[in-house]
Amino acid sequence: MSLPFKHLTSAKQLTPEVIESIFATAEEMEMLSESGRGDTLKNKVIALLFYEPSSRTMLSFQSAVQRLGGGMILAQGREGSSLLKGESIEDTIQMVSGYSDLIVMRHPEGGAAEKAASVSSVPFVNAGDGGNEHPTQAALDLYTLKKEFGRLDNLHIAFGCDPLHSRTIRSLATVLSQFEGNKFTFIGPESLKASEDLKSLLDESGVNFEETDDLSKGVEADILYMNRLQEERFVDHSEFEKYRKLFVLTADMLQDKNVLIMNPLPRIDEIEIAVDSLPNAAYFKQARNGVPIRMALLSMMA
Ligand code: CP
């Protein structure tokens, strides 16, 4: 099965039909991983370019490549690459296109993925570009939701607590806006409200959403999708310090609540450790789903 695009840069490309075909392949990948390894990527070289820190995305892509029998080339950090000398993204990608059969890139600059895809002669996957998009995270978030609820429609999803800077919130809300009957609550301080362009997209899609600075409203939803305050994207660091201890989900807040707690991770201050042992906590399961989803994407795109 293949996908109707060569490059994956935005969650907007993850239509309900595309999501369904990725899920079908991810289920096959889960069975494959239980019985051994595959060879879909035999004779393929996957380039992993991570110019911004990552644990889950980078390691789950590495695991996916290894489980499918592929080879890898890896660049980690701007310091170890010629980006530090001033080489452009476009030149880097044209060069890496000649070394590999598919490129996965994370970059600190919003819009870097579009620039890269525009010059890549091999399939390109956005692994997070600044505060803009993180489409493969959205795919694994949706896979987790489908496993937990059996559906992707008619859900109430609360997103906290940095809707302005969080690329994972932005990408997940973008895809979920395509499914019928979903309702969103964005939680965060006034200065970290969701961006106007995301809200315009939701208005155009007819999505019912509200905004609040009250985290306790999140536990009334079906899903509370927590994400750390994105420290690296704050222009004024004192603002980050001001809010980091104010938006913390505690085990007490979840007493007698069925809300599913998700988080793309890393967790910093936003979820108390005591929440981890509650049945609501789905974030480590969510992280595990990154491997079959990225195996599916690589096997469908490479
Ligand atoms: N969820 C996520 O993107 O985590 P990393 O930054 O560790 O890859």
Consecutive 10-residue averages of pLDDT for the chain (302 residues): 95 98 98 94 98 97 98 94 93 98 98 98 98 98 98 98 97 98 97 96 97 98 97 94 94 98 97 98 98 98 98
Dist. CA 259 → ligand 1 center (Å): 23
Q: Take atom 5 of ligand 1 and give the residue whose Cα is closest.
A: 54
Decide if 217 is catalytic. Answer: no
Tokens representing 5?
A: 């695009």
Choosing from 6, 56, 183, 288, the catalytic residue is 56
The ligand 1 atom nearest the CA atom of 106: 8
Q: Take atom 4 of ligand 1 and give the residue whose Cα is closest.
A: 56
Decide if 56 is catalytic. Answer: yes
Measured distance CA(54)–CA(57) in Å, rounded? 6
Model-level pTM? Answer: 0.97
Query: pLDDT value at position 79?
Result: 87
Ligand 1 pocket: which of 137, 142, 170, 294 to mutate (most atoms within 8 A of CB): 137
* Superfamily holding 135-287: Aspartate/ornithine carbamoyltransferase (3.40.50.1370)
Decide if 134 is catalytic. Answer: yes
Instruction: State the burial class of residue 93 (Cβ atoms within 10 Å of its Cβ: 0-12, 13-18, 19+).
Output: buried
CB atoms near residue 2 (< 10 Å): 9
What is the domain partition of the chain in residue ranges? 11-133+290-301, 135-287
The ligand 1 atom nearest the CA atom of 57: 8
Q: Take atom 1 of ligand 1 and give the residue whose Cα is closest.
A: 264
* Domain 11-133+290-301 falls under CATH 3.30.70.20: no
Query: pLDDT value at position 80?
Result: 86
At CA 17, angle to CA 125 and CA 146, rounded to 5? Answer: 85
Dist. CA 256 → ligand 1 center (Å): 30
Contact 45, 70 (CB under 8 A): yes
Decide if 57 is catalytic. Answer: yes
Measured distance CA(54)–CA(259) in Å, rounded? 28
Question: Which pairs with CB-CB distance under 8 Å and at least 24 residues apart come from 177-182?
Answer: 177/201, 177/202, 177/205, 177/207, 178/15, 178/16, 178/205, 179/16, 179/152, 179/153, 180/153, 180/154, 181/153, 181/154, 181/155, 182/152, 182/153, 182/154, 182/155, 182/156, 182/157, 182/207
Query: pLDDT value at position 211?
Result: 98
Q: Take atom 3 of ligand 1 and give the residue whose Cα is closest.
A: 57
Decide if 167 is catalytic. Answer: no
List helix spans (H) across the chain: 16-35, 56-67, 89-97, 112-119, 135-149, 167-176, 196-205, 237-243, 283-288, 290-301
The reply to whether domains 11-133+290-301 and 135-287 share a CATH topology is yes
Query: pLDDT value at position 1?
Result: 78
Residues with a CB atom less than 6 Å from ligand 1:
54-57, 128, 137, 264-266
